[in-house]
Chains A and B, each alone.
Chain A
Amino acid sequence: MYKEICAKYAPNKDNLIYILHDIQDTHPQHYVSSEAVHEISEYLTLPENHIYGVLTFYSMYSTTPRGKNIIRLCESPPCYIKGSYNILRKLKTLLGVGVGETTKDGNFTLELCACLGVCGNAPVMMINDDVYGDLSEEKVEDIIDKIRGRN
């Protein structure tokens, strides 16, 4: 599987970030495994340590398995001022996990992230590629319930 993804890109070093994105997005557990790193290293003829260097530098990549839905709550000042800490508390109790952890059913991973650029509607979170703004504790419960129902 990893070979096929790599083959979509020219074997240049500057494609490394895109290959990593692609592999992570394609993996059902949204992470880059050590086997994947090995494959990329062979494909780009780069040492594995270089790939790990890049992989661990950027906050969006994960080297450990994650949930089906990735919740990224904005922890930037505008959201903080509008009470993102209450939202975080709510998410923690709703999901029963801490930051960086995955729910037992493998459905959700809770993460914090830097500014999502929707500060006009703070507090904000992103679940996968969808942005949810003007969050309140009730709204969060609603959103999570809906996603749970979908699966």
Chain B
Amino acid sequence: MTTAIEQIGRSGMHAVRSFWDTLTFAFRILARMFDVRAYNSAVRMVLINQIYFTSVQILPLFLAVAVGFGAIVIGIIGQYLIHLGLFGYFGQLLMGFVVTEFAPFITVLLIALRSSSAVNAEIAVMKVNKELNTLHVFRIDVINYLFLPRILSGILSIVLLSWLFSIVVLVSGLIFSALLFDMSMNDYVTALLASAKFSDLIVMLIKCATMGFFIVMIPIRYGLRATDELTSIPVSVLHGMVNVFIAIMIIEVVSLIVVSLIEKFI
């Protein structure tokens, strides 16, 4: 009995310590992010490469997914709304669900599956191969050179790709609404504009930036936990990805609470 309670206490303390370490690490990265001296030419080069790997390379697949998901989701939502006699809420559902919730979520999932796991594995391999020690020996700041470009790339990619996803979904929605529901462009645009709120878009922007930050920062953090053994690489990637998904869920819930508070008090 005592051992079980001790085990629970140990796990709880470990979770709290881990959470605190992650937050401390996040604040260190944030502080460095606003330090202009951190952005030298090498960092800028790495940043461009990271944006290329994270956003540009994925673009064809991403746009195809956006068009496909947009058509499916808009078709299903429209059919259900017609069935329920609530087609008047079509614009609200598109703006409230597809743009502000669905688009960031799909984007974050795609980037997390493709780039977060890659970053996690990359950092873990560098740790196992003691490349991080080498950089340290050459007095190269790993935060500036390795972490900051990747995290900035994550933020920028998620923000831009989420908006792009929303635009593509809305444009495909325009086409599919005309084809499936015989909805004119004017009606479609009017319905969207009536439901669009700048406050929702600002919350979406902040949410995307926050997700972009954490879905790269958490894999880096777990990559650094790899030991000298090669077998620790998949373990660190596994833990890192699980925590990335937990972070995505927490950010989604917090954003929903923030939106509801904004609607209540403002």
Partners in one complex: no
Q: Which residues of B contact A (CB under 8 A)?
A: none
Q: Which residues of A contact B (CB under 8 A)?
A: none
